[in-house]
């Protein structure tokens, strides 16, 4: 019974990661609208002021968008990998759930410091789901 619930929690965590990637992709569809002159100036500088980084001229907006896309792709890739693995032996799922739990605990800490409620909720929920899956999945049996 415990293994069955561990597998369900693992699969749910996998789907949650893909949903987090989808939710994050919404931020790429529309540019933010400045509310006042100060925000307008900030957005103009972030988009149009370019810095020479190792021979490549990039703006802060380029970096933000690139990291945002990388974050979204990481969520999709890890969620998809977890979905592919969800029917593997329990001992493997337990180890993968532990790695996901550690990674999501660190991401939760980053979210607490740098982000807002939506990404924090996704990271914390994933951490809880994979943590519970790790606790419920049986360890490897020795023959």
Q: Per residue in 53-98, pLDDT tens?
A: 999 999 999 999 999 999 999 999 999 999 999 999 999 999 999 9
Specify the 3-state DSSP secondary structure of 31. coil
Which 8-state DSSP code applies to residue 52? Answer: E
Cα–Cα distances in angstroms (integers) from residue 108 to residues 99, 101, 129, in the given order = 14, 10, 13
Q: Is 7 inside any structural domain? A: yes
pLDDT at 143 over 60: no
Q: Is 95 inside any structural domain? A: yes
Q: Is 126 inside any structural domain? A: yes
97 lies in which domain range? 2-32+72-136
Q: Evaluate the CA torsion angle 107, 109, 110, 111 in order and state its sign.
A: positive
Structure token digits, residue 29: 């569809």
Q: Is 116 inside any structural domain? A: yes
- How many domains is the chain partitioned into structurally? 1
For the entire predicted model, the pTM comes to: 0.88
Closest to 130 (Cα-Cα) out of 97, 87, 86: 97
Q: How far is CA 119 from the centre of its chain?
A: 8
């Amino acid at each position: 019974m415990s293994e069955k619930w561990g597998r369900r929690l693992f699969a749910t965590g996998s789907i949650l990661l893909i949903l987090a990637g989808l939710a994050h992709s919404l931020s790429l569809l529309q540019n933010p609208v400045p509310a006042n002159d100060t925000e307008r100036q900030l957005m103009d500088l972030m988009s149009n002021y370019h810095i020479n980084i190792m021979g490549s001229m990039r703006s802060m907006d380029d970096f933000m968008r690139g990291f945002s896309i990388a974050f979204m792709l990481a969520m999709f890739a890890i969620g998809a990998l977890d979905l592919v693995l969800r029917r593997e032996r329990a001992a493997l799922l337990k180890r993968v759930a532990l790695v996901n739990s550690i990674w999501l605990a660190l991401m939760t800490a980053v979210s607490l410091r740098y982000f807002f409620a939506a990404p924090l909720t996704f990271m914390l929920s994933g951490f809880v789901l994979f943590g519970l899956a790790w606790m419920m999945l049986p360890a490897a049996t020795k023959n």
